[in-house]
């Protein structure tokens, strides 16, 4: 009932926008009345429109035809009110200006890279308020370019007559592919996906592996397959990059990609992804030796044995065993990996995992990053599936109990990496908390009592309420405030919403 009432008010407001001043004062419809905001003749500063996008409808549709009207955002432009409206049903939007004066210029910007850029020198639907009209609007334009996998945003902009300052609304989008927390977070992440490189802009190589994994997980848990194209696109564009087959000098990077391809195989059944994951696991196995009693080295330089590559080693090998009929090799590697990890000294007296070992093979007491806690949970869950040994789940529960209750990791009950602060995190840190949420979620789903559901929900509720902007980008600190967006921050939030 409330939705219908709001629709009626907005529809009336949209009609008033097109009524000239005389008609507005009498309440009678103008004769004749324009049904669209058509651009007036050029005044000498003509602009070149962007290429027309045709999805359900082509750009340039009359807003009067919208079956529903939602105001996405609004702002003041001098003494005018500038607003951005959406037809969510058709994935289209338009700009409108009220308290307008003749010659006020109005247009839309459209971005396919999360609002970082838009077509330079181009305006969509550029129009000017004619004499006698208290308000004006553009035509409707598509937010997304489905035919070309363009995931978009719109904003409305205006230059009031006689002014020199352009005013624009914030960027917004329709609820298309953004109809709940999970899908909205996935769509915001895909705004950072670069179709040319097959990677995610604003973040790095290994972070892109995690971003792709989060997208794959979202397809699985949310049931929205719109972004399945990113899997093959990423694979085809990058199979020969770095060291080839998604390897490079850093073993954890290789393992992140290996796990991404395991997830891709699970979703698609395409055997080439599993073949690449096996290649990656075999590549890393070559770096297992007897230094510190076992374990794989962090990199080809062989200077550091640490938690992340070794916990990923367990998870990847166990995952491969669970997907390769008749395997014994990957199972043996995973079992040996956990036996070494458990006794390595990296798990401290609080059952938290420090970053790695010193050159003398003792715990280096470096920070207990959240992802160091999360990957062992996923690894032990896969290892339980590989062996049927419930002792692995008991060990995982012990570690999870420690990390979910740690005051240092969870000040005020919200996950927080050491040193996290708005604008911080560097290139790597923003990925960490999402990895933790993913690992904890995998364990929680396997345990019959699902003991960490409330913890995960608390994290998601906090991030959604305190660390999100108007088009579902997330920042670094889940307790807030929102600081800035990048693909790593967004991947972490998507992992959390998926969980």
Cα of first residue to Cα of last residue in the chain, in angstroms, is 33
Binned at pLDDT 50, 70 and 90, residue 50 comes out as low
> Is residue 9's pLDDT more than 50?
no
Question: How many residues belong to the chain?
Answer: 499
The reported pLDDT for the residue numbered 118 is 85
pLDDT confidence tier of residue 448, bands split at 50, 70 and 90: very high
DSSP 28: P
Q: What is the mean pLDDT of the chain?
A: 91
Comparing CA positions, the residue from 368, 349, 458, 365 lying closest to residue 419 is: 368
What is the pLDDT confidence band of residue 1, given thresholds at 50, 70 and 90?
A: very low
pLDDT band at 121 (very low <50, low <70, confident <90, very high): low
Residue range 236-248: average pLDDT? 98
Does the pLDDT at position 233 exceed 90?
yes
Domains, the chain: 2-168 (no CATH), 181-498 (1.50.10.20)
Assess whether pLDDT exceeds 50 at residue 358. Answer: yes
Q: How confident is the model at residue 120 (pLDDT cuts 50, 70, 90)?
A: low
Do residues 478 and 433 lie in contact, with contact meaning Cβ atoms separated by under 8 Å?
yes
**Helix 271-285 with 251-268: angle, nearest 10 deg:** 160
Q: Residue 21 has what pLDDT?
A: 32
> pLDDT-derived band of residue 123, with 50, 70 and 90 as boundaries?
confident
Looking at beta carbons, which pairs linking 288-295 to residues 24 or more positions away fall under 8 Å?
A: 288/313, 288/333, 291/361, 292/344, 292/357, 292/361, 293/340, 293/343, 293/344, 293/361, 294/336, 294/340, 295/337, 295/340, 295/341, 295/344
101 pLDDT more than 90: yes
pLDDT at residue 150, as a whole number? 96
């Amino acid at each position: 009932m409330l939705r219908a009432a709001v629709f009626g008010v907005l529809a009336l407001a949209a009609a008033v926008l097109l009524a000239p001043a005389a008609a507005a004062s009498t309440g009678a419809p103008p004769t004749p009345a324009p049904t669209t905001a058509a651009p007036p003749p050029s005044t000498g500063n003509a602009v070149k429109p962007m290429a027309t996008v045709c999805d359900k409808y082509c750009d340039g549709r009359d807003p009067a035809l919208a079956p529903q009207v939602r105001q996405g955002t609004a702002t003041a432009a001098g003494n005018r009110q500038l607003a951005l409206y959406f037809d969510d049903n058709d994935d289209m939007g338009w700009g409108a200006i009220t308290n307008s004066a003749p010659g006020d210029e109005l247009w839309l910007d459209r971005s396919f890279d999360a609002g970082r850029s838009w077509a330079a020198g181009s305006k969509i639907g550029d129009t000017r308020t004619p004499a006698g009209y208290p308000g004006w609007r553009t035509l409707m334009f598509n937010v997304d370019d489905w035919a070309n996998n363009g995931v978009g945003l719109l904003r409305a902009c205006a230059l009031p007559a006689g002014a020199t300052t352009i005013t624009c609304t914030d960027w917004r989008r329709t609820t298309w592919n953004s109809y709940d927390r999970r899908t909205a977070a996935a769509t915001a992440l895909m705004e950072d996906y670069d179709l040319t490189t097959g990677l995610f802009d604003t973040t790095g190589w290994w972070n892109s592996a995690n971003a792709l994994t989060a997208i794959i997980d979202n397809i699985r848990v949310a049931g929205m397959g719109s972004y399945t194209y990113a899997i093959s696109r990423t694979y085809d564009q990058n199979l020969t990059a770095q060291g080839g087959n998604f390897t490079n000098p850093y073993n954890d990077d290789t393992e992140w990609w290996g796990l991404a391809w395991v997830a891709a195989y699970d979703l698609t059944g395409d055997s080439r992804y599993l073949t690449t994951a096996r290649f990656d696991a075999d590549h890393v196995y070559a770096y297992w030796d007897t230094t510190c009693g076992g374990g794989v080295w962090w990199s080809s330089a062989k200077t550091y044995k640490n938690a992340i590559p070794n916990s990923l080693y367990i998870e990847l090998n166990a995952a491969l065993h669970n997907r390769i009929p008749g395997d014994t090799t990957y199972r043996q590697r995973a079992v040996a990996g956990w036996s070494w990890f458990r006794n390595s000294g990296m798990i401290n007296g609080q059952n938290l995992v420090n970053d790695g070992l010193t050159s003398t093979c003792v715990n280096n007491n470096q920070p207990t990053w959240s992802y160091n806690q999360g990957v062992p949970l996923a690894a032990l869950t896969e290892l339980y599936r590989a062996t049927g040994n419930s002792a692995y789940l008991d060990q995982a529960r012990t570690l999870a109990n420690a990390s979910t209750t740690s005051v240092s990791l969870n000040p005020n009950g919200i996950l927080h990496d050491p040193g996290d602060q708005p604008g911080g995190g560097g290139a790597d840190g923003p990925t960490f908390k999402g990895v933790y949420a993913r690992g904890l979620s995998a364990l929680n789903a396997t345990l019959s009592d699902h003991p960490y559901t409330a913890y995960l929900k608390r994290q998601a509720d906090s991030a959604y309420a305190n660390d999100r902007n108007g088009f579902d980008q997330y920042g670094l600190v889940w307790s807030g405030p929102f600081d800035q967006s990048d693909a790593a921050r967004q991947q972490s939030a998507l992992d959390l919403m998926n969980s």
